[in-house]
Amino acid sequence: MMKRQVNHHTVRSEKIGKLVTFAIVADLHNGPYEDMLPHLRGADAILILGDLINRHRRGYANAVRFLKEAPEIAPTFYAIGNHEWKFKQRDEYWPHVLKSQAVVLDNTYTQFHGITLGALSSAPKGEIRTEFLRQMEAQPGFRLLMCHHPEWFERHVQQRDIDLTLSGHAHGGQVRILGRGLYAPGQGILPRLTSGWYYDRRLLISRGMTNSARAPRLNDPCELILLHLKGLNDE
């Protein structure tokens, strides 16, 4: 089984009333996940940032099992990535999603432990639906957005009153040299947005949980992120 890092990130804000920990699962691509289950157990919720399945291969058994097991550990919220809407077996797979206890956030938002939690769904160019962000940014308290595509942040999110956006999709740039990735879907060669923090800590990008590409990952370990949201006075 591949080795994955568990990386902790902390955000402090006067808008946060009490400590909330989110386990960030991005780009699992129907891969194995059993080694990560113990690390999910301390989270208040599990956030799936999209691409739970792999559109380049048939099958979705691991994704369905994860959707069964994750909500038994903690409330689970599922954002839609490009592999979800391009998946040739979508009509077979999606009923399993709807039968699961995971909450699908499809261009909408909800409230969780005082956090406004939303998701901007992946879609073909020209069909991206951002209207709900106007209502989301008007909600009181801390506003957290799941958006699978980090390259969408500047155009669709940066000018909004959204406190933090979580993304995946870039796979860390696949091969990292001197701290920079070489390629990412949607950004091409030498992508700018691949891993970690950007835009004054308003965008956090996961390197993803699995390597779904034919090319190997070099200097680019897969990761699970544990995100801790704290008030200014929390220890």
Residue 1, pLDDT score = 45
Question: pTM value?
Answer: 0.96
Asked if residue 202 lies in contact with residue 61, where contact means CB atoms within 8 angstroms, the answer is no
What would the pLDDT profile of 75-85 be if each residue is shown by its tens digit?
A: 999 999 999 99
- Alpha-helical runs (H) found in the chain: 37-40, 61-73, 82-86, 90-99, 132-136
- Please give the CATH topology (third level) of the domain spanning 4-230: Purple Acid Phosphatase; chain A, domain 2 (3.60.21)
Nearest Cα neighbor of 83 from 127, 28, 133, 34 is 28
Start-to-end CA span in the chain (Å): 36
Measured CA to CA, the distance from residue 143 to residue 117 in angstroms comes to 6
Helix (H, G, I), strand (E, B) or coil at 109: strand
| AA identity, residue 187 | Q
What would the pLDDT profile of 43-58 be if each residue is shown by its tens digit?
A: 999 999 999 999 999 9
Average of pLDDT values for 180-185? Answer: 92
126 pLDDT band, cuts 50/70/90, is: confident
Task: Indicate the DSSP class of residue 145.
Answer: E
Average of pLDDT values for 99-114? Answer: 98
Sorted by where each begins, the domain ranges of the chain are 4-230
Nearest Cα neighbor of 122 from 221, 26, 45 is 26
Can you read off the two tokens belonging to residue 85? Answer: 């809407």
What would the pLDDT profile of 196-212 be if each residue is shown by its tens digit?
A: 999 999 999 999 999 87
Measured CA to CA, the distance from residue 115 to residue 45 in angstroms comes to 11
Residue 15 burial (10 A CB sphere; 0-12, 13-18, 19+):
middle
